[in-house]
Structure 1
């Protein structure tokens, strides 16, 4: 946006100054239409010029520069709730908390999401179970509460209605309950939360655990948890044994347009066969060619002696744009290629049939997926995905068409 647009904030922000200073900018003469507004914001310390005493009103601003202006306006007590929400990520990088803005409205917020999905598969499993299609309606209600300036609570109730064959089957579960806060320089998360490890190529499900994170530009996350199997059941239930442990650590950073990440995950008794452990490590690189196109690659390695076939794998991802719930008409495309041995994943993020009884889960899979998403109207987003996957060590294959519409409120 042009820098001159911030002049409209002079009245909207309600920023006041005890007295106007002398004209601080040589390129804004006394007769300029924005003279009073610029002086008002400058006197309040919300805007600054350049080292040559110019304002540069025709220059384009970055989101970071705009976030700095919002941060200064917040410090002056201005009402900038909407701007703070828009620039929340940039404000967080500046160390500016926006939780106090939430508390002005209400200490507890309730939001929701409803998703309808329909999926078709080509194939049946080894026991003859029909995987031809499935259709569900999923509703989620989120509760967010501010405990104090440093801690907040998040909970989520989920209802799933199975619409296949008009059986009327449904389940309602309390799927999330966790707190986030700060202890010294560490960010802490504890309870039942969602874990998406290594972009979901290793694990994408809920866990019961605790994790700590440190750093911003270079971030280290480490934690202990009890993982779930692919059906979302804790290991103590799925294996019939005592609950087993999962340890994990992730390191990430960014150099200009290049994002780098590494992960380490040690699982115990989480595969379908009790007594099987797995240790997985990953490295990944993602490069943003511009604001629309990104290309990424990930290498994964697991415990070969626990499973048949390859002990490693890789995933390549290309993405263009992306649907945004708040912006009607926005859209995106994603294409992926997978080649993963069974020891490189526990609960894969994708909606294909590779991590399913159709394939022997000790064999691994390879193949590709393509997806498209589109925002039909504000907070209404549709997505279609196609998967064509093969068993790595066998001759089974599967094709999957997944579609969904998500409503958020």
Structure 2
């Protein structure tokens, strides 16, 4: 931006040059046309100058420098959130991260965001053929309680075009409601939210819980206690389990991340394919150990899982497993044209998972669990518009050797 600091601030911020204030800068003479404007901005804390007491007002400024000034002007109330400068420098303000997040409270105590996802799922194999097309809309409400605490809620509408309900009838539910904040160095969250444990290889779904996390240098500790929510798609009126506890310890060693999890689950709900997919319950304990290494644009990961499920043990099902991951780059909603490729190989016994993060149909198999692979890719078509396609080939680890092959795709628009 080929403008000097003096001209840009005095004109763009609309501060009167005749404003009366003491001038703190040695290189801005009292006779300068912008003397009063700069003095007023300095008194309001919008500009600080340099450590040697100079202002350097003839220096050419960048867009980022101007965005920093706009951010300070917002914080000090010199301009409003609806000012044209805020729109002009929206991307730069967003890149300022925490500072901009703190400024949002000056515009509104409640922020509304959302996304729309159209997904399509086609599964073939030994279980027959099935199709599903779902349009899902989500609205997020974030309300400021005080400087440390926020309330978050989420309203979801889902329309099933193919599959369970081809009429296009919609269902609207209030699915998230929790408080998040901190007490000292401890970050806390309490209420209903979607929680992911062990990278989603054990659980990726809603819980009613209270969780705490602490970070010390490169090491972090997490713990959560609560109750598991229901499973989507099957027996939605039944809880996936009763009380649960999870503890996590992890840390970074350069580009290497190491993490271990312990999860105790009471009265978990699962299927027994030997009895026509009837529902059974059993307590479970799951331990996981994972390592992920980032090398440039590549990410390589591996996880070992060990379960101890009452029902699976009784049926002599598989109680351990492993997952390997390979990813290259990745689509970013803020960067049109960005893209990524990824793949996973699964070999998981029935005691090592409850509600998986994947889009393949792992839930068709019995207590022995499943194994197989997935490959996928994503692409940002335009800002805040990301498409993804995934292919799954999974089979039963038991004697049936049944396959379930799934082609899954989605388009997500965020606003």
Same fold per TM (> 0.5)? Answer: yes
Deviation of 1:47 (Å): 7.7
2:373 corresponds to 1:368: yes
Deviation of 1:112 (Å): 1.2
Q: Is the 8 A contact 2:289 2:305 kept in 1?
A: yes
Find the partner of 2:284 among 261, 274, 278: 278
Deviation of 1:157 (Å): 0.7
Structure 2: stretches of 5+ with no match in the other structure: 14-20, 28-41, 53-63, 80-85, 271-278
2:320 corresponds to 1:312: yes
Residue equivalent to 1:287: 293
Deviation of 1:48 (Å): 8.5
Residue equivalent to 1:332: 340
Structure 1's 222 and 47: CA in aligned 2 closer, same or farther, altered over 3 A?
farther
Q: Is the 8 A contact 1:139 1:159 kept in 2?
A: yes
1:75-120 alpha-carbon deviations (Å, 9 max, x no partner): 99699975453243xx5xxxxx654311022111111111111111
Q: Is the 8 A contact 1:114 1:406 kept in 2?
A: yes
Structure 1 distance, partners of 2:351, 2:287, is: 10
Residue equivalent to 1:385: 390
Superposed, which structure 2 residues align to 1:139-218 within 5 Å?
139-164=137-162, 166-215=166-215, 217-218=218-219
- Most deviating of 108-117 and 301-310: 301-310
Structure 1: stretches of 5+ with no match in the other structure: 23-39, 50-65, 92-96
Superposed, which structure 2 residues align to 1:119-134 within 5 Å?
119-123=121-125, 125=127, 131-134=129-132
Deviation of 1:171 (Å): 1.5
Q: Is the 8 A contact 1:270 1:276 kept in 2?
A: yes
RMSD: 3.7
Which structure has the bigger radius of gyration? 2
Structure 1's 353 and 17: CA in aligned 2 closer, same or farther, altered over 3 A?
farther
Superposed, which structure 2 residues align to 1:9-158 within 5 Å?
19-20=24-25, 83=92, 85-88=94-97, 99-123=101-125, 125=127, 131-158=129-156
Residue equivalent to 1:350: 358
Deviation of 1:183 (Å): 1.9
Structure 2 distance, partners of 1:215, 1:232, is: 36
Deviation of 1:235 (Å): 9.5
Secondary structure in structure 1 of the residue aligned to 2:332: coil
- Most deviating of 113-122 and 250-259: 250-259
Residue equivalent to 1:244: 242
Residue equivalent to 2:221: 220
Secondary structure in structure 1 of the residue aligned to 2:94: helix
Structure 1's 48 and 225: CA in aligned 2 closer, same or farther, altered over 3 A?
farther
Structure 1 distance, partners of 2:92, 2:6, is: 11
Structure 1 distance, partners of 2:228, 2:156, is: 19
Q: Determine which structure has the larger strand proportion and give its number.
A: 2
Secondary structure in structure 2 of the residue aligned to 1:269: strand
Size of the aligned set, in residue pairs, is 355
Find the partner of 1:398 among 379, 404, 413: 404
Q: Is the 8 A contact 2:150 2:180 kept in 1?
A: yes
